[in-house]
Structure 1
Amino acid sequence: MHYNIWDFFCTEENYPYWQEQIQQSQEFNRITWEKIRDFLCVIERHNPLSHQLLQAHNLEQFIQIARNNGYQLTQEELAWFVIIQKQIWDCLALAQKTPSLKKQLLSSQNPDEFIQIAVEQGYYFTQKELAWLLIDIKSSSSLVSINNSTGDAFFIANIGRIVMGSWMGLAERWGLVPPLCNMKQPGNGIFGDENDPFFLDRCFLPSGYLNQRLMINY
């Protein structure tokens, strides 16, 4: 279902238009990101709403069906979410098949340098947008599993053909993505409530509950 939504924005004829639209629009925030992410999670479950949305012949019908079911979304919000994700995934996919680019990105000293290298390759996204995507990946129960016998947490190495561990490890070192637990808290995190040690952006699980073990595959 998710990929049907991508077709509204990512076809050869639609993509340039929506890419220009989101670049000209105001910056969207994390609340918008989470609203759309949660909406997509709901329709991925193949419930009656998913069936209704599959009957939409165009983006306008899709938005109206969503609104009729209580989801207040705009075309611009959906376009931003879809296109930003495509920009990030396309950048990582190019790096996966271009060793020199991957080495350059992984050698970035800070997020600003990483983003600038991406821009030079024609990919446009912010530090926060990159962090939100990686946090969504790392907080997914389908990608992070817990070994109940040992209390260890294991992070899946690959998504599609992209090796994620190296990018996740880099983002952790910068403080963009929190560790699995707060045994060692990064001092340069840019998100979260500093007074709440168990806030998702600071800690995925209570301190000491798990031994951190991030499977990194370079």
Structure 2
Amino acid sequence: MNFSKVLLGLVTGISVASLGIAGCTAQQQDLESRTEQPAVTVQQTETPNTTTTTQPQERAGDVPYVPTPQPVVDAMLKVAKVSKNDVLYDLGSGDGRIVVTAAQRFGTQGVGIDINPERIEEANQNAKKAGVTDRVKFVQQDLFNTDLSKATVVTLYLLPEVNMKLRPKLFKELKPGTRIVSHAFDMGDWKPQQTLNVDGKTVYYWVVPENVPANLR
């Protein structure tokens, strides 16, 4: 009788131990599933952020971003006599105000070029607010790699050395009669046809000649 009790006790102990082990295994599996779940969640929440409408900036910009004052924008468009028949390229377009203003007031088709993705996003937002997205577009691109041949008007607010570096490209790609307007900085020995003073700011205006002098190329 005593042997039966001992045997029964051993069997009972083994069963309890088995249940304990099984319980621990189940808890361990549940813990592992809980600790793995956040990793999946984080991956899912990060995925949308990797999809953007712009690309990483390929290099540093040629000039710091300083918006052109609106009175200067108005004067630049006025001196160039922009119209609905023009295609305006703004090189270093920033928040897009020159292109957007031309589209709003004159129905001009416009293209803004900027290397900074933040500026492109801002310009697109401004075009949408102004209701001119059907007439303008903004391209994230190096202005020195941009085809300018379709432009009838080009606007600039760069720096003297950038203007000089850009000048041969303008002569090469722009058609004779294309108007060029620069805020603040000239083009060296290429004399402007008009120079304006707008609230203390200087605006330079040129027209691409039929025959470009050799010393300007």
Q: In terms of Rg, which structure is larger?
A: 2
User: What interval of TM-score do these two structures reach, taking the shorter chain for normalisation?
Assistant: under 0.3
More helix by share: 1
Q: Which has the higher contact order (CA 8 A, sep 6+)?
A: 2
Q: Output the TM-score relative to the length of structure 1.
A: 0.25
Q: Output the TM-score relative to the length of structure 2.
A: 0.25
More strand by share: 2
